[in-house]
Structure 1
Amino acid sequence: MWMCKTVQVTDAPPLPAWTGFNRATAKSIAPPITKIGYLPVIDASPTEMSTVNTVLVKSIDVINKLNLPSGVLVMDQAIYSKAQQIRWQNQEFESRLVLRLGEFHTAMSFMAVIGKQYKDAGLEDLMIESGVSAQGSVNGVMSGHHYNRSIRCHKLVAEAMHRLRFSEFLDSLPEAEYLGALDCLIRLRESFPEDFSDEAKSDHVKMLQAKYKAHLEERSRSNANYAFWNSYLEMVQVLLLFIRATREGGWELHLSVLRDMLPWYFAYGRVNYSRYLPVYLQEMSALKVTIQVCMKNSAKVNLPFSGQIVRLP
């Protein structure tokens, strides 16, 4: 997407941003309509052990009434940690309940890591001076607490950096290679949206990507500042892949991206996620065959690229 946005094609409409781009290129079918029901409210603190235990007991009751072998519960990290402590001490809970970490708070925590890494390196000033974020709300962007605003700011900054970086790569090419790259990008741009995925897999696009990757590695070795901001783009890419996996129901991509996120939680003192995310990854990778197949099959349904943050089973 970033490569295409560096080229202007006559009479072609402008390419949409990341979300619109994914919606336009995703080949999917509408999923069947599902019914959502609400259970009785438990009027107690959600982080109390007794409350969490009640939730697990009620979940078993619901599973029994529906004649299901097991059930999946999604919760944020604060409740997940307590629920796991209870579940590990109860054989029925352990065998019949699958606990999952909620994607929303996981993404917020990762944005806090990004903010901590790059805030004082100039990212905060860049967002304020460019008008992407107001000075009064930039702390919420850096901490990830303002989820929508934070996602928007990182997408805008990352797109601008991607386009500048790729333009610099094109300018470094000899004239013959530059013209070949330009022709490749124009064909890729003109294939949007119907044939974009097929064109992106073509040999000439793969060759251009290989040259671009080699250029980035060479520039990163010779320029520490260049390498530093390359790492910002890589972290934002990990964040966007995580969101994409969630919205499309990509189970294997979900687990793969979490493995990429995990070292950053350790590096920047996100103690709770550092403690429980390895547990979550281990349990999700070792699920019973029937449940694992169900999770993987969710990716084969080709769910549309949704605006919802929680889409996985």
Structure 2
Amino acid sequence: MEKMVISDTPLQGDEMVSWAAYHASKQSIPEEPECGVALTSLLPLFYDQAKSVAMIRHSMDVVKRAVDILNPGQIPVITLDQPLYTLAKQIQWRWPETHGEDHFVIVFGGLHIEMAAWKTLGNLLDSSGWTGVLVLAGVASTGTADSFLKAAHVTCTRRAHQVTASSLYLLLKEAYSQYTSGLDEGQDPMPLDDWCAERVDASPQFQFWFIILQLELAVLIYVRSVREENFLLYTDALSKLVPWFFALGHTNYARWIPVHLRDMVTLVTKHPSVYAQFLAGNFTVKKTTHAFSAIALDQAHEQNNALVKGDGGAVGLTENPAALRRWMVSGSRDGQIDF
């Protein structure tokens, strides 16, 4: 249905398309892509907690051995969320001869970066009246709107900010049109960027919502870079987000995302083969052949984890040693590598 609507220009009546469908229509997909749907699997699980230097170093060794079997000579690429990424980088700096940056590429989890960015926006929007506007507009209930400030559900939070960014941009264009229509005949209007800069100086309220719009667009461009498998856009979007983590006190992300960004921009000289694969879109995971459908590596990790964890009131494997042992002995071995 959305394909039919997108093909209509302009849209008719109350027809609408989603943000993802619009960008999917703009993304060109080759008839025979170099890489098809990604293969994902689980290595044997460990009952011990991952948040220790010993476990992260051991995991790096296991991944290295697995990669050497599957693709000899390849540099292992490992994706971790923020606390574990910190440990992995410290291991690289402590043992450079065996686990250093010449031997592994450590990647910061893209899903967790997006969640942290939405939480950063929530810090700015707290007590601004934004959640009340969403409730009055019928976008969400009161409790759900409040959860957007903490990015409790990343998909719903992203949609709320997509609606907000679209609304703010429409209001911006309307205000600019009123400015241009009020000019005397023959008077040239200021360019939009200059007019916005003037309004920022003149109105604190305009300045606040203009900042919100700019930050929302920066995060959405980051999400788009992952969905489109665009590595150059990914690094550019990250560079735009880093100052906000510093400004709003997200200390751990402010410290470690610049390290991740440095690693990514130096791949071209340090690991040219990995850089070439990232440019081809292989810094993400594609589970379908549809356009605009790639996901971050750590999101694929989370989806694999969900396959072996209990749902509802059931106890997950990671919380029950006996269940974990039974699964390790008698569970499905498809896609697993034994060591």
**Does TM, normalized by the shorter one, top 0.5?**
yes
In structure 1, runs of 5+ residues without a counterpart are 1-7, 177-207
C-alpha RMSD of the superposition: 2.8
Residue 84 of structure 1 is matched in structure 2 by 89
Distance 1:305 1:242, change over 3 A: farther
2:119 paired residue among 112, 119, 134: 112
SS at match of 1:29: coil
Residue 18 of structure 2 is matched in structure 1 by 17
1:137 paired residue among 103, 128, 144: 144
Give the deviation of 1:77 after TM superposition.
0.6
Distance 1:290 1:222, change over 3 A: same
Off by >3 Å, runs of 4+ in structure 1? 8-15
Residue 68 of structure 2 is matched in structure 1 by 64
Contact 1:245 1:253 survives alignment (8 Å) = yes
Aligned pairs (5 A) from 1:250-265:
250-265=230-245
1:276 paired residue among 228, 231, 256: 256
* 1:166 is aligned to 2:173: yes
Give the deviation of 1:27 after TM superposition.
1.6
Query: Deviation per CA, 1:207-246, whole angstroms, max 9, x where unpaired?
Result: x9x9332332232222221121011010000010000111
Residue 44 of structure 1 is matched in structure 2 by 48
CA distance in structure 1 between the aligned counterparts of 2:128 and 2:44, rounded to whole angstroms: 48
Query: Deviation per CA, 1:108-127, whole angstroms, max 9, x where unpaired?
Result: 11111101112212212222
* 1:235 is aligned to 2:215: yes
Distance 1:130 1:47, change over 3 A: same
Residue 292 of structure 2 is matched in structure 1 by 306
SS at match of 1:120: coil
Query: Deviation per CA, 1:54-79, whole angstroms, max 9, x where unpaired?
Result: 21010110121120330111111111
Query: Deviation per CA, 1:17-72, whole angstroms, max 9, x where unpaired?
Result: 32121011212236423322321112221212222122101011012112033011
Q: Which amino acid aligns with 1:33?
A: V
CA distance in structure 2 between the aligned counterparts of 1:259 and 1:127, rounded to whole angstroms: 30
Residue 190 of structure 1 is matched in structure 2 by none
In structure 2, runs of 5+ residues without a counterpart are 1-8, 184-188, 283-288, 301-339
Give the deviation of 1:260 after TM superposition.
1.0
Query: Deviation per CA, 1:146-205, whole angstroms, max 9, x where unpaired?
Result: 2111111111111112112212222332499xxxxxxxxxxxxxxxxxxxxxxxxxxxxx
SS at match of 2:139: coil
Distance 1:167 1:161, change over 3 A: same
Q: Which amino acid aligns with 1:97?
A: F
Contact 2:229 2:294 survives alignment (8 Å) = no
Contact 1:249 1:311 survives alignment (8 Å) = no
CA distance in structure 2 between the aligned counterparts of 1:140 and 1:74, rounded to whole angstroms: 27
How many pairs are equivalent?
272
Aligned pairs (5 A) from 1:148-227:
148-174=155-181, 211-227=191-207
Contact 2:67 2:76 survives alignment (8 Å) = yes
Contact 2:109 2:297 survives alignment (8 Å) = no
Of the structure 1 ranges 32-41 and 113-122, higher mean CA displacement relative to structure 2 is found in 32-41
CA distance in structure 2 between the aligned counterparts of 1:218 and 1:262, rounded to whole angstroms: 26
Distance 1:54 1:106, change over 3 A: same
* 1:297 is aligned to 2:297: no
Contact 1:243 1:309 survives alignment (8 Å) = no
1:34 paired residue among 24, 35, 38: 38
Distance 1:293 1:120, change over 3 A: same
Of the structure 1 ranges 218-227 and 105-114, higher mean CA displacement relative to structure 2 is found in 218-227
Of the structure 1 ranges 107-116 and 303-312, higher mean CA displacement relative to structure 2 is found in 303-312
Q: Which amino acid aligns with 2:76?
A: G
Contact 2:139 2:160 survives alignment (8 Å) = yes
SS at match of 1:100: strand
**More helix per residue: 1 or 2?**
1
Aligned pairs (5 A) from 1:1-16:
9=10, 11=12, 14-16=15-17
